[in-house]
Amino acid sequence: MALPPNLSAAQSATGTPAGKQNFLFPFILVTSLFFYWGFIHNLDPVLIPHLRRAFNLNTVQASLVDSAVYIAYFIMAIPAGIIMKKYGYKTGILIGLSLFAGGCFLFVPAANTMQYAFFLAALFIVACGLTILETAANPYATILGDPATSTQRLNFAQSFNGLAAFLAPILGGKFILSQNPIADTQLAAMTTQVRDAYLHQETATVKMPYIVLGSAILIAFIIFFFTKLPDIKDNEEKEKTSFLHTFRHKHLKWAAVAQFFYVGAQVCILSLLILFATRVAGITEKAASFYSSAAGLAFMLGRFAGTFFMRYITPAKLLSINAVICILLCLVTIFGSGVITLYAIIATTFFMSIMFPTIFALGIEDIGADTKSGSSLIIMAIVGGAILPPLFGYITDITHNIQYGYIVPLLSFAVVLYFGLKGHQHTEKAVEVLH
């Protein structure tokens, strides 16, 4: 598989001539981060039904797994941007990896205490680390090479997020989900002692996967620590900018709005897929985990396909086309029946896969010294993943039909469509010429 063009023959914003800097190895390291956080995020679809049964949660309560993760993006995005501006990308990556690993290891005491709030706290700490990593890695991937191919390069890096989305449900389903889960009625009929023993056994299954993942992140920390990474500066880096200064860029503001709704839609679709499959298609959680993995595979292939098609179609136009297709597939999911709705969801993941990196790259395009603060603003918008899933869950609970919850992703893709058609356009260059 070929790397995106011009990766090592780029001219940095500092004026370094093309060919004098080799960005290949730094790009490989940064791309690995996309796999790590993709893996942890895509354990959530497995974790949600597992904890829902273990703690007897309704759909809204179970969706708090996503809320605990994505609220961290809103809280930590500005501090992450400050870290990046003051200390550089490498320091931000190291801090992010530290929090990521620490949160993974907290799953052990969470399982021992059998407290749902402890699990949510561990997930929140993991997500604080992910926020810093994403604030650093997304813009870093765009500048490690030719600016003309930045969107294509970011989509390529994000493709490994899709690879993680394929692997995580398979491994998570194997090591976390029960082979023969006990129904809620059976659980209620147990004596307190037997029920507590069963629930302790259920919560204990999360320990090993998160210990292994935390250990892998520590190894990544060591590699990054001893690797020299180029800290590329913008031409306008000498200019003092503030976070509020980024709001002058209209297309950046629209990118944040579009990202809010896209991430909310993505979380609703991927995190609740196993729950959807068991209710609508009537299959077991174990079997549903393979459908979740298929969705991850489609997500990965969609990003590789998007990277290819961006050679011939502008990113904004491709984003708009995919948004229209996702809207149509959501209609099939809402009004269809049986396994066809699952196929529609899997197809949706293919077409929505390019949205995050494309919105991100278009949003920070041509904003110069505001790039790090602008990155923070778009990462803050990931809080949509905390707000929209509970709305999805609320619609599901009051209608007693999880299919109706897909009105939330449908409307979200409509916002992405607007961004692709008009919201990504910006006129700052013309304004600056006049001055």
Please report, rounded to a whole number, the percentage of residues in the chain having pLDDT higher than 90.
34
Write down the pLDDT at residue 86: 84
For residue 129, what is the enclosing H or E element?
A: helix 116-143
> Tell me: the pLDDT tens digits for 358-396?
998 898 887 777 777 778 788 889 889 889 988 998 999
- Enumerate long-range contacts of 336-344, CB under 8 Å, 24 or more apart: 336/403, 337/280, 338/280, 338/281, 339/281, 341/276, 341/280, 341/281, 341/403, 342/276, 342/277, 342/280, 342/281, 342/291
What the block records as the tokens of 398 is 């009051």
Largest CA distance in the chain: 77
Least confident range of 16-20, 74-78, 228-232, 391-395: 16-20
CA of residue 399 relative to chain centroid, distance: 28
Instruction: For residue range 404-415, list pLDDT tens digits in order.
Output: 999 999 999 999
Instruction: Categorize the per-residue pLDDT at 124 as very low, low, confident or very high, splitting at 50, 70 and 90.
Output: very high
What 8-state DSSP symbol labels residue 4? P
**Alpha-carbon span 172 to 129, nearest angstrom:** 21
The number of angstroms, rounded, from the C-alpha of 296 to the middle of its chain's C-alpha atoms is 12
Alpha helices in 144-277 (DSSP H): 150-175, 184-189, 192-204, 207-225, 250-271, 273-276
pLDDT tens-digit map of 57-104:
877 888 788 888 888 888 988 888 888 878 888 899 999 999 999 999
Distance in angstroms (rounded) separating the CA atoms of residues 100 and 40: 9
